[in-house]
C-alpha cells in the first residue's frame, strides 16, 4: 500500500518569506551532508585543514539558528524544521562527536565504534 501517491510538500513549499528562504538556501549550500562526508573522508590526508573546515560548518550551523529566530522573531523550536537537526548532533553519523567548550568553541573528536549510535 502506497502512503504517498503524489508529490509531498517540503519545507521549501511551505515557507514563503523571501529572507527566510535566502537563509535556508545559504544553510543548504554551506552545510550539505555531501560536503561533510567529503571533509570527513579527507581528514586522513588533509588533517587540520579538513577539521578546520568541518568546525567552520558546525559554527555556521550553530550560529544561524539563534540568528534566524532573533532577527525574524521565530520560535527557536522551528529551527529544526527550517534547517534540519543541528549538525552538532547529526555529525555522529560520520563517526565524529562535538563537545562545546565553556568558551563557546567546539571540540571535534571521533566516536568509538562501541559508542556509535544512529541519530534519532
- Domain ranges (residues) in the chain: 17-110
Q: If you search the block for the grid coordinates 581528514, which residue do you land on?
A: 43
Alpha helices (H) along 3-94: 11-14, 18-30, 33-46, 48-72, 79-83, 87-90
pLDDT digits (tens, 9 = 90+) for 46-82: 999 999 999 999 999 999 999 999 999 999 999 999 9
pLDDT digits (tens, 9 = 90+) for 25-36: 999 999 999 999
Give this prediction's pTM.
0.83
| Cβ neighbours for 119, distance < 8 A, ≥ 6 positions apart | 85, 89, 90, 92, 93
Amino acid at each position: 500500500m502506497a502512503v504517498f501517491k503524489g508529490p509531498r510538500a517540503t519545507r521549501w513549499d511551505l515557507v514563503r518569506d523571501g529572507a527566510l528562504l535566502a537563509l535556508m538556501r545559504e544553510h543548504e549550500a554551506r552545510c550539505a551532508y555531501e560536503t561533510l562526508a567529503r571533509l570527513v573522508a579527507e581528514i586522513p590526508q588533509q588533517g587540520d585543514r579538513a577539521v578546520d573546515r568541518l568546525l567552520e560548518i558546525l559554527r555556521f550551523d550553530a550560529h544561524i539558528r539563534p540568528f534566524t529566530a532573533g532577527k525574524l522573531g521565530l520560535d527557536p523550536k522551528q529551527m529544526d524544521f527550517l534547517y534540519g537537526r543541528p549538525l552538532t548532533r547529526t555529525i555522529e553519523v560520520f563517526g565524529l562527536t562535538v563537545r562545546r567548550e565553556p568558551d563557546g568553541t567546539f571540540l571535534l573528536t571521533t566516536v568509538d565504534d562501541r559508542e556509535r549510535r544512529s541519530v534519532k
